[in-house]
Amino acid sequence: MSDQKPSSAKPGDQAIPPQETPSDELAQRYAEALERLSAGSSRAWQGWLERQARGDFFTLPDPAVAAKALTRLSQQFLLHPQRALEVQQQLWQGYTTLWQITARRLSGEAPSPAAAPDPRDRRFKGKGWEENLFFDALRQAYQLTAEQWLKGVHEVTEELDHDERVKVEFYAHQLMDALAPSNYAITNPEVIEATVRTGGANLLQGLANLMEDLARGEGLLRIKQSDSAELELGKNLAVTPGKVIYQNQLMQLIQYAPTTEEVDRRPLLIVPPWINKFYILDLTPQRSFIRWAVEQGITVFVISWVNPDERYAEVAFDDYLTQGTLKAMDVVAEVTGEETLNTIGYCIGGTLLASTLAHQAARGDERVHSATFFTTLLDFSEVGPLEVFIDEEQVRYMEQHMAQRGYLEGTHLANAFNLLQSADLIWGFVINNYLLGRTPQAFDLLYWNSDSTRMPRRMQSYYLRNMYLENRLAEPGGISLAGQAIDLSQVRIPAFFVATEKDHIAPWQSSYRGAYLLGKRPRFLLGGSGHIAGVINPAGSSKYGYWSYGRLPRDPERWLASATHHPGSWWPEWRSWLKRHAGDQVAARDPGSRRFPPLEEAPGSYVRVRVDDASTSGG
């Protein structure tokens, strides 16, 4: 699971050049757009009919939950008419100030704005929002409205219970994002300019883009976030040389080819999330954590999980342990001849890794020498913004759907995650793709973000209930996996936790509290940015920075107050830590062994199966 977009990303290049378009070229573009529109609308309609025929009306989040939340909000304003009136009065005062400032600008003055533009909000970046008095006033009026609206929502929901208040405030924020003037052709100066310049070709191209996205979603909107034509696995993504040396029904195990003559004695096994694909750690070469680790003289193995379909409905969380982490460790030991290894777990892969370590501790299995956890939750008592999608009602809703399909579609999860950053990950692309008629840029992180995976029914239900709803992993013996009660306090190996400051999937404070569940105090480091960009922060990069502090007090905020901020990437500091647990140097190891010969080139076949494929490649 993941956040799905770094703050520096921008939707794409213009499909229509800024200069005046010749009439014959314009006619050609009209013809091409009409052809795409016809084909896309036909496929979208057919997909919608097929979805209706099989009775598949499921969407995530549940529209009924959103409607209930907004209805509850209306009731709260009716119950607090005085507060509603105060919000209205404050809003009119803001409008009055805005009108006075606009009048002064008309007379040639340059007063400070009533609502300064947010430099992080890319919806109002175009020059027209600043240079044109009307659109500048419109932008400020929207910002004043949003500020007072959300403030009022917060105040009238104070008496609600926590879960209900979270949902009401979340959907109120979604409503305000949807009403932004940038989202509509007649109130967006950049769209108006493009429409005049191209004779409306941008809108026709945008409509064709919309129909193609509806077709891809079988009648449901599946926004294209990256130009997939420019990116390809094994060509410019996931290109670190290596071999698949083992596979079973659930995973392929990849061993990467060395680039140094000597390597650490202890190999490194990476356990990525199966809610997304492993190549988040092997994007383009300059951003690949795996390539960098190999260049550091580490023998790197990574699990590539299968993308399941209905045949995997009964696959359990236990299976990810027995056929995933434990089996991978068996293969790594045989191939390298080493009795111990180091490990990394990312997100839910880290949750599985910690569960595996507790399982091993209970059975006296000491082959894991150290563990690193990237943005991992072990304590699910406070899960941040995701809690809006996870309660008993919504889990039952997902379970009913999964009982019919055998899995939860990755696109539904992606839609939910995108809502957590809707201004960027939804409305930014609505403007770019549908109103401006552009094709999004080829951007590796967003290509990966749209390459979703399915979740097996049994595993997903177990994970949501036992981790998110009941937080049983945090309880000694709270869950049992593969016949063994799990107690994280029995894990007493060296550990290193990496959390990220703006993580909306695994809040850093919760990750910190999870670190305290282990039986030995780990190192803890806080990276800048979010769930993905804070981890994929290459060595040599000057972005984000990180905080570190040797001690681990109980209170995460106390830790942060004592921590030191460092510029650049945290990768080198982690490598310095790992060297103390890496053993001596040995001759570099080529992938595979006599018992486990290479089966195919990395990144393998399992990772290539997309959610719109008919079946998986699992054996």
Q: Which residues are catalytic?
A: 347
CA atoms within 13 A on the CB side of 438: 21
From residue 387, give the alpha-carbon distance in Å to each of 2, 373, 464, 483.
14, 22, 11, 30
Q: Residue 350 has which token pair?
A: 């880290």
Token pair, residue 150, equals 């959300």
Asked, as a colleague might, if the bond just before 6 is cis with ω within 30 of 0, I would say no
- Please give the Cα distance from 255 to 303 (Å, whole number): 9
User: Per the structure block, which two tokens stand in for 523?
Assistant: 């190192």
Q: Whose CA is closest to 574, among 308, 289, 379?
A: 289
Adjacent-strand bridge partners of 548: 525, 564
Contacts 24+ apart (CB under 8 A), 160-165: 160/72, 160/76, 163/387, 163/391, 164/69, 164/72
Give the number of other Cβ atoms within 10 Å of residue 146's Cβ.
Answer: 17
Q: Which residue type does 50 have?
A: E
**d(C-alpha 473, C-alpha 353), whole Å:** 12
Nearest Cα to Cα of residue 427 among 417, 419, 416: 419
* DSSP string across 526-577: EESS-TTTTTS--TT--SS-EEE-S---S-HHHHHHH-EEE-S-SHHHHHHH
Closest CA to 207 of 440, 441, 439, 435: 435
The H or E element containing residue 44 is helix 23-53
